[in-house]
Structure 1
Amino acid sequence: MQRTALPAGRTHQPQALARSLRRPQPFRPIRHISSAVASQNGNGNGVHANGKGSAAPRCPSPAQTIRTLVDIVNEGTLSTVAANGLPVGIPVSFSTDKQGHVQLHLDAATVDMANLRGSAACSLTVQPTAHPARAVAAVTLIGKLELPADMSAPAPLHVDKCLYFGGLDQGSRGQEVSGEEFAAAEPDVLRKAAPELVNSWNSERAEDIYRIVSEFLGVPLTEMSYAELLWVDHLGMYVRSEVAGTEGPEVIRVPFYRPVLDERDARSVITMAAQIAWERERSYNPPLPSIFADAAAAANN
């Protein structure tokens, strides 16, 4: 795909991007763009690749995002209730087993142990500490902790419900998710690869993101003031963008035309979206291979 310069005065610098990722950025409420997704990202017929004609979900459910966060983070804040009724929060580490069950690693000498012996009720607040994952969401798992006989062993957290605070998924802020939904959800297949995908596209292929958003929003590339990839999951990507003459930055959700299978598949789908946007920008019609051109000429004769 031929490369062209970004809009004048809007060069996407990695240093500026790094600074922007370290500090909160104001933006308008998230906007979902769905009408042109199928045609921009692959088969162009508005249906799944399996031909069943049902559109894929536009973004992971809160339960899926919670499972993703719990899988990629290993530290959180454990809150317990002291004998005097006051809540106490301390930092703890945790892990998940193959079934996704949360296991806390506790120090028997800390204050929370005395509290937990009085009441097993507790909550665990989890949020990634570093960008880009930190922008995705935060969650509080509410339930009861099972103290093992051997305190060197991890303590299982039995989750009754979750409070989901969407970062990029702002429409779900403060949503309650049941323990059953949490247990049944699967973590996203791109959870480990997403930070590298975000860094790679923003630092090396920023023009692709500008072009995809330009096409999706239906505005000329020259009017794109800013575009920054924030996160990628198996259903699509979040992008912070700004169009010249608008109120300011906004986060948009750009869904893929089908769920991706892994990191390599995600790279392919994003690259394809940029290529198709580039072709449409130039009204480009690739020439037919000679075998098809000869067949067409023969048919006309």
Structure 2
Amino acid sequence: MELSSQGTLSILTQDGCPLGIGVRFVVDSQGIPVLCLNPLNQLASFVSSDKRSSLHLGQSGSRTPQCTLQGLLLRPQDEFHTKKLQTLWKKKFGEEVDEGVIHIVSVDQVLHLEDFKEDCLWVTGPDYRNAVPDPLRDCAGNIVNEMNDKLMEDVLRFCDIFVDLDFQVKNARMVWIDRLGFDVRILTPQMDVLEVRIPFPREVTDEKGAKSSLTCMSQLAWEVEKNYSGPEFEKVKCFKKLR
């Protein structure tokens, strides 16, 4: 949620038809989306008649997972809460906003869809609010860009050594990284696109730990490739075909 700032807000109009509109948002400490809606436009009249809503997130980078939050579109409960949300908005977008435009989506449940070909996962509102954000969320994009721009040879070697493949990887790009590992998109000689999850040897807690683990894995992969060391690890056997 914190990585995204744009999405599609869907509400029901007075005649019962769904209406989707692009919005910007920021999230509070519990992941609750904060929106700014002009009370003078027509959308405000729809909101007042039926507060049921959903917010579909725009994804960052080249990731494919989708996330949609369902809940009620509400005004903040009190002036103190509103002031806090105004501060969040200014910090995110550098804009002063009037308290009359602030709205929140009270999250009742969340739909997570990893890929169109896979089953969806419903997450309850309490589980969502109690979830712990990934510690790499603020630096993941920079790490991914650095690996793809400067260390592509290492990314290719990760696939050749740590993934159980029966073909030579034609091309590979890191898609995302978190505290448990990283996702890589692979191009096969037949021009198929696969995605694989390569785990870290152990969970990392910060950017320094992530880069250290990548360096160690790179060194190990090089040693195995040169037959200086044996593959004393279990290769990844699970991957999905994207196209």
Normalising by structure 1, what TM-score?
A: 0.63
1:189 equivalent to 2:135? Answer yes
CA distance in structure 2 between the partners assigned to 1:143 and 1:211 by the alignment? 45
Cα RMSD (Å): 2.3
- What one-letter code is carried by the residue in structure 2 that aligns with 1:257? P
The CA deviation string for residues 217-249 of structure 1, in whole angstroms up to 9 with x for no partner, is 2469x92222211111111111112454x6722
Deviation of 1:92 after TM superposition, in Å, equals: 1.8
CA distance in structure 1 between the partners assigned to 2:31 and 2:111 by the alignment? 17
Match of 2:68 among 128, 140, 148: 140
1:227 equivalent to 2:172? Answer yes
1:94 equivalent to 2:28? Answer no
Deviation of 1:204 after TM superposition, in Å, equals: 0.6
Which ranges in structure 1 are unaligned for 5 or more consecutive residues? Answer: 1-69, 286-301
Preserved CA contact (<8 Å) 1:79 1:88: yes
- Which structure has greater strand proportion? 2
Match of 2:203 among 228, 252, 259: 259
Deviation of 1:94 after TM superposition, in Å, equals: 1.6
Match of 1:78 among 9, 12, 31: 9
CA distance in structure 1 between the partners assigned to 2:20 and 2:164 by the alignment? 48
Deviation of 1:152 after TM superposition, in Å, equals: 2.7
- What one-letter code is carried by the residue in structure 2 that aligns with 1:236? G
Change (3 A) 1:151 1:268: same
**Amino-acid identity (%):** 31
Preserved CA contact (<8 Å) 2:147 2:155: yes
Aligned length: 209
Change (3 A) 1:77 1:104: same
The more displaced of 143-152 and 175-184 is 143-152
Preserved CA contact (<8 Å) 1:161 1:176: yes
The correspondence of residues 169-248 of structure 1 with structure 2, limited to 5 A, is: 173-218=119-164, 223-244=168-189, 248=192
The CA deviation string for residues 130-154 of structure 1, in whole angstroms up to 9 with x for no partner, is 524xx14221110112224885352
Preserved CA contact (<8 Å) 2:65 2:112: yes
Preserved CA contact (<8 Å) 1:241 1:250: yes
Change (3 A) 1:75 1:217: closer
Change (3 A) 1:178 1:146: same
Which one scores higher on RCO, CA 8 angstroms, separation ≥ 6? 1
Preserved CA contact (<8 Å) 1:127 1:137: no
CA distance in structure 2 between the partners assigned to 1:173 and 1:106 by the alignment? 33
Preserved CA contact (<8 Å) 2:34 2:105: yes
Q: Bigger radius of gyration, 1 or 2?
A: 1
Helix, strand or coil for the counterpart of 1:260? coil
CA distance in structure 2 between the partners assigned to 1:217 and 1:278 by the alignment? 14
Change (3 A) 1:235 1:82: same
Helix, strand or coil for the counterpart of 1:223? coil
Change (3 A) 1:80 1:275: same
Match of 1:277 among 221, 224, 227: 221
CA distance in structure 2 between the partners assigned to 1:191 and 1:172 by the alignment? 24
Which ranges in structure 2 are unaligned for 5 or more consecutive residues? Answer: 79-97, 230-243
> What residue in structure 2 maps to residue 67 of structure 1?
none
Change (3 A) 1:159 1:218: closer
Change (3 A) 1:192 1:206: same
Match of 1:131 among 33, 49, 61: 61
